């Protein structure tokens, strides 16, 4: 094999190897980009789930607070002899039979 053919074969081999390396680098970049996108999607889903749990807990706390306030109101009105609400209820039930 002459020197020219060897040089040409080495040049072709080098070109093929360089093309393969470029393709590998492009593939690695694509994989890295896909990994970044998947990571971002997972983080968004996680933040969304945390927000939903936080909202549910907040709603539950608000509901419990409302029940507690209502219970305190009932206890206060019972301690004070019924309060205005109980008196109005008594008046309504007493006059309901008259109508």
pLDDT tens-place string over residues 18-46: 888 888 888 888 888 888 888 888 888 89
CA distances from 96 to 31, 84, 85 (A): 78, 18, 16
pLDDT of residue 26: 85
What is the C-alpha separation between 29 and 90, in angstroms, rounded? 79
Instruction: Locate the domains of the chain by residue range.
Output: 3-96
pLDDT of residue 65: 82
Share of the chain above pLDDT 90, in %: 0
pLDDT tens-place string over residues 72-91: 777 776 766 656 666 666 77
**Whole-prediction pTM:** 0.46
């Amino acid at each position: 094999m002459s020197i020219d053919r060897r040089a040409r074969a080495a040049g072709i081999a080098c070109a093929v190897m360089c093309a393969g390396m470029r393709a590998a680098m492009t593939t690695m970049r694509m994989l890295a980009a896909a990994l970044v996108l998947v990571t971002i999607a997972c983080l968004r889903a996680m933040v969304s789930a945390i927000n939903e749990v936080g909202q549910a807990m907040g709603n539950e706390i608000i509901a419990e607070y409302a029940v507690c306030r209502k219970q305190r109101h009932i206890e206060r009105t019972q301690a004070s002899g019924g309060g205005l609400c109980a008196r109005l209820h008594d008046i309504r039930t007493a006059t309901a039979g008259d109508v």
